Amino acid sequence: MDKKDMRICIIGGGPAGLSAGMYLEQKGYENYTILERLDRVGGKCWSPYYNGKRYEMGAIMGVPSYYAVHDVEEFCGITHDGPKLNRNYKDKNGKIIEPFEPKKNILKIPRLLK
């Protein structure tokens, strides 16, 4: 893909589609189109406006590890002032655990066996 004027079509205006467009533009590609079936972009990261307030429907905007959304926000000069979210995994006693540590036996994590 060294022809910067080739036509490119991206299907979907969610975080992945918007990120793809952003990365293409950063690499110098300008002849791309993002097709979205809805009348808005954002996918599950879209926050509707109702009665003077924005409501986060995806609840993933604040998760620090959701880099695709944060990259697009930074590229577009957008910030959000919602609460910072953190993902914790807890055992049945409420103790925070890290189920993906290499020393953990993956066969003992029931939700991964579904």
pTM for the whole structure: 0.56
pLDDT of the chain, 114 residues: tens digit per residue = 568 889 999 999 887 898 899 999 999 999 999 999 988 887 777 777 788 877 666 555 556 566 666 777 788 777 766 666 666 778 888 888 876 655 555 556 555 544
Residue 14 is predicted with a pLDDT of 84
> Domain for residue 114, yes or no?
no
pLDDT of residue 114: 47
In a domain, 96, yes or no: no
Question: Does residue 54 belong to any structural domain of this protein?
Answer: yes
**How far out from the chain centre does Cα 60 lie?**
7
pLDDT at 60: 54
Counted domains in the chain = 1
Q: Is residue 104 part of a domain?
A: no
| Rounded distance between C-alpha atoms, residue 71 and residue 84, angstroms | 16
Could you tell me if residue 89 is inside a domain? no
**pLDDT at residue number 88:** 74
Query: Would 35 be classed as within a structural domain?
Result: yes
Q: What residue numbers bound the domain in which 33 lies?
A: 8-76
pLDDT in the model for residue 33: 96
Quick check: is 55 in a domain? yes
In a domain, 93, yes or no: no
The predicted structure's pLDDT at residue 57:
65
How high is the pLDDT of residue 100? 64
Long-range interactions of 32-38: CB distance < 8 A, separation 24+: 32/7, 32/8, 33/7, 33/8, 33/9, 34/10, 35/9, 35/10, 35/11, 36/12, 38/13
